[in-house]
Amino acid sequence: MLQNGLYGIAEAEFLSMMELACQARDLRSPAISVLNFDPYSNAHIITGLEINRWNLAPALETVWLNDRRFQNLAIGSILLTTTSAAENSSTITILKGALKSGGQASVKNSVKEIVLKWFSKLLLIPTERLEESMSKPLADLGMDSMVSSDVRALAWKEFSADVPFLKILEKGLLLEELVDLVWEKMDAELKYGAA
């Protein structure tokens, strides 16, 4: 649930929402919809979605953005990126800066940091702990097919790296091997600074 930006609510909040939902309404007066594409929008009560607590992986952004009822919340809380890796200025800026400051080794280290940041978000594990777990199999860190799909999407989006899904799910694949795989498959222009 946390990966999807949802979190548990306290009993008091749940009871509050139920009380609100069960309030008497005058059914004779027509409901005024605030959303023209959803005539029943006034009947919606949303809880457990606090935008400043959202921790969405980029691959999940579209889940929220595709639902017109949540678009305003999603746009207000996530950076809307629909561009390819070649147009992703933050990744390019990081990699270009790394190339200027320390050459190819520095770029590879930046790739590692970005991948660890993804994993930290996807698996809800602090990056410091992931640093210590580089030689552990991904399965031991909680990797499953859903997370693998997110990793594949992120590798393509950030680095134009076509990482095979089955390779990510391969039994015994270590975190450091995944970083090496992203490095091996990533766009040469991003790797060598010609972008």
The answer, yes or no, to whether residue 181 has pLDDT greater than 80, is yes
107 and 182 housed in the same domain: yes
Its sign, for the CA torsion 161, 167, 171, 177, is negative
State pLDDT tens for residues 79-126: 433 333 344 447 788 888 888 888 888 888 888 998 888 888 878 788
What average pLDDT is seen over the chain?
75
**In percent, how much of the chain has pLDDT > 70?**
65
99 and 34 in a single domain? The answer is no
Q: Are residues 17 and 110 in the same domain?
A: no
Distance CA 165, CA 156 (A): 11
Number of domains in the chain: 2
CA distances for 194 relative to 136, 152, 184, 189, angstroms: 34, 24, 17, 5
Q: Does one domain contain both 108 and 183?
A: yes
Q: In the numeric block, which tokens belong to residue 19?
A: 């009380």
Same domain for 181 and 91, yes or no, is yes
Domain span at 135: 85-192
Which pLDDT band, with edges at 50, 70 and 90, does 176 fall under? very high
Q: CATH code at 130?
A: 1.10.1200
pLDDT bucket at 180, cuts 50 / 70 / 90: very high
Burial 33-58 (b: 16+ CB within 10 A, else e): eeeeeeeeeeeeeeeebeeeebbbbb
pTM: 0.54
Query: Per residue, what are the HEC states of 157-175?
Result: HHHCCCCCHHHHHCCCCEH
